[in-house]
Structure 1
Amino acid sequence: MNKQQTPITFWGIGAQKAGTSWLYYNLSKTPGFSIPPVKEFHYFDRDTKYPSPNILSITKTRDRVFSITYLIKAVRAILSSVFRGNFHNIGFFLKWYFSNYNDNWYLSIFNRYSGSKGEITPSYSMLSKDDISKMYNLSPDAKLIFMLRNPVDRAWSHFRHIKKRIKGFKLEDVQEKEIIEFIQSEGQELRSNYLRTIENFTSVFPKEQILVGFYDAIIDSPEQLLEEVVQFITIDEQSNKEFNQKSDEEDLPTKEIVNKSIELDCPPEILNLLKEKYHDMILELANQYGGYFNKWYLETYGKNSVNENNRLQNTIHLN
């Protein structure tokens, strides 16, 4: 497949609770970008072997349409688009809910859009090399954005995110055993294993097509972070010019918190467990790259790595 036939410009591949919703929200409002109305497709992790929603695991339309719950979701999405006058989204949701899921269907979703286009599914950070190869075969020139957060903070935020669905939830409502089981679960561990994700994706995609961004930069310098991501994804000078012009004319909503978890203090024993669990990985990343990884190591363990690069870069390239 050559570049002219490749409809996907980028993928956001993770990590969960590391700023992917922020990235989706801001790219959807960035000139030159066309983002579908569904953030997480879960196309490449649709196999039930993955501990993820697997929302596309039933590939045949005829096997889905007899579900009342499924039909209600479809009708609500379509009617919402009608009431908002967003007719482009009507076509998207008709194809989303009433098509057979396969590679041709997936590619056809993006053929409806122009400019820089892609999707963001944090669970892609869990993919095996075989499924990453399927991504590459569909769009070998696509750029990959991997948002990272201190894995200790990410894991606790992930737990809080799960519990925010329970109205009035309090930490005393849950036993320590349940928290530990969550921390040790397969899905949680895979989502926090940044070294595995980097190794798997760089074994398939060229390193120069992968950009690592930091959740910390959303707090420290969100405008610059977004600009670096946009410039990495786009090779069109006109798109970059339009982005810079809009940034000058009005503030993009870069500082708005998106999909925030509930506030809960991490119990000391759980915090110590997380610190022990992720020590070696944080140290290895700090030794190799410095920057925010160094900051994580210093703030979490009170120690310095051997890498003296303490410059806090919003993004880093792996090559």
Structure 2
Amino acid sequence: MKNQSPINFWGIGAQKAGTSWLYYNLSKAPGFAIPPVKEFHYFDRDTAYPSPNYLSKTKVRDRLFSLSYLVKAGKSILASVLRGNWAHIKFSFKWYFSNYNDNWYKSVFQLFGGGIRGEITPSYSMLKIEDIKQMHIMAPDARLILMLRNPVDRAWSHFRHTKKRIKGFSLDNVENSEIISFMKEEGQVLRSDYTRTIKNFTSVFPKEQLLIGFYDAVIDAPEQLLEEVIQFITSTGGKGDDSLKTKDTNESGLNKVVNKSIELDCPPEVLAWLKENYHDMILDLANQYGGYFNKWYSETYSKSSENKDNRLFPTISMT
């Protein structure tokens, strides 16, 4: 690949749209050298972003006075030692005991040799243009993967995900107004605003460097989806690297459910609110691209868009 940066790709979202599945399978794909942490949250580390700001304290001296931080660092290093993985040991030391800056960020990927390198942080879908420009400066040729899911389903899965660690959680004592308030929060709204994400990233990166993949295809055609993503990442504007095929990956991983949310039925009032809120965006995407966007629109609203192309491709490019 012509990209001289140690970063070959970024997964930029969306949360609850198959990014954990993608990380799991790319980390096992031949030729890929993926760090042991899926989500770096480097470009959204500013506390102004409604996301986990793990790296907001850039100076290591500001972190060393936290006992919980040191315990977490020790557990990570010990786990790497027990696995006998030298690259992961070095990664853990760099992750916990370095000052965070662009040189640090690039150096982390260089720990993993000459493989295809990148990270997947779904919160990058929320980035402002100035932070996307920082990404472009760092790796102007990097490929961008944006996994999308029907925003009605994504929003409800997002809510369920936030309740995942509450033992025995149910909706019995939760008012619909409380759930709708969550749906109106900035972190949920920005993660579901696909039009904004596409517009912001393609205003900085060339459109041909962005690939959209579909959560639906994780279920319908996982092998084809993974192969198309791999071919896109490894291509340089032409044909991808034929030596990197999903036939060499762990086939059981293609059907593996990763980071599943708890099961809850969406209350009718909340569902009606979500449908109304996302109608125009889904219709616009369906009119423009067809495919799975059409499927979302027809299944959610029992209507057809102006675009009659109903072929369900696992991925689409912006070109």
Following TM superposition, the consecutive aligned residue runs of length 4 or more in structure 1 with deviations greater than 6 angstroms are: none
| 1:43 lines up with 2:42 in the alignment | yes
| 2:187 alignment counterpart | 187
Deviations 1:74-119 (A, max 9, x none): 0000001111111210100000000000000001011112211000
Question: Equivalent residues in 2 for 1:47-126 (5 A)?
Answer: 47-113=46-112, 114-126=114-126
Give the partner amino acid of 1:58.
K
Give the partner amino acid of 2:10.
W
Does the CA-based 8 Å contact 2:226-2:246 persist in structure 1? no
| 1:272 alignment counterpart | 272
Give the partner amino acid of 1:243.
K
Give the partner amino acid of 2:243.
K
Does the CA-based 8 Å contact 2:231-2:240 persist in structure 1? no
Using the TM superposition, give the Cα deviation of residue 173 of structure 1 relative to its aligned residue in structure 2, in angstroms: 3.1
Does the CA-based 8 Å contact 1:26-1:252 persist in structure 2? no
| 1:34 alignment counterpart | 33
Give the partner amino acid of 1:40.
E
Give the partner amino acid of 2:68.
T
Distance in 1 between residues matched to 2:261 and 2:242, nearest whole Å: 33
Using the TM superposition, give the Cα deviation of residue 176 of structure 1 relative to its aligned residue in structure 2, in angstroms: 1.8
Distance 1:228 1:59, change over 3 A: same
Distance 1:242 1:128, change over 3 A: closer
| TM-score, scaled to structure 2 | 0.96
SS at match of 1:299: helix
Moved more, 237-246 or 4-13: 237-246
Does the CA-based 8 Å contact 2:232-2:240 persist in structure 1? no
| 2:211 alignment counterpart | 211
Distance in 2 between residues matched to 1:223 and 1:314, nearest whole Å: 10
Distance in 2 between residues matched to 1:156 and 1:299, nearest whole Å: 16
Distance in 1 between residues matched to 2:34 and 2:244, nearest whole Å: 17
Deviations 1:44-92 (A, max 9, x none): 0000110001110000000001101111110000001111111210100
Distance in 1 between residues matched to 2:265 and 2:131, nearest whole Å: 37
| 1:283 lines up with 2:283 in the alignment | yes
| 1:21 alignment counterpart | 20
Question: Equivalent residues in 2 for 1:289-300 (5 A)?
Answer: 289-300=289-300
SS at match of 1:90: helix
Distance 1:179 1:245, change over 3 A: closer
Distance in 2 between residues matched to 1:252 and 1:31, nearest whole Å: 15
Using the TM superposition, give the Cα deviation of residue 231 of structure 1 relative to its aligned residue in structure 2, in angstroms: 0.3
| 2:309 alignment counterpart | 309
SS at match of 2:48: coil
| 1:130 alignment counterpart | 130
| TM-score, scaled to structure 1 | 0.96
- Matched residue count: 316
SS at match of 2:251: coil
Distance in 2 between residues matched to 1:156 and 1:4, nearest whole Å: 38
Using the TM superposition, give the Cα deviation of residue 5 of structure 1 relative to its aligned residue in structure 2, in angstroms: 3.3
| 1:231 alignment counterpart | 231
| Structure 1 unaligned spans of 5+ | none
Does the CA-based 8 Å contact 1:287-1:305 persist in structure 2? yes
| Structure 2 unaligned spans of 5+ | none
What is the Cα-based RMSD across aligned positions, in Å? 1.5
Using the TM superposition, give the Cα deviation of residue 243 of structure 1 relative to its aligned residue in structure 2, in angstroms: 2.4
| 1:243 alignment counterpart | 245
Using the TM superposition, give the Cα deviation of residue 245 of structure 1 relative to its aligned residue in structure 2, in angstroms: 4.8
Using the TM superposition, give the Cα deviation of residue 38 of structure 1 relative to its aligned residue in structure 2, in angstroms: 0.5
SS at match of 2:141: coil
Does the CA-based 8 Å contact 1:230-1:240 persist in structure 2? no
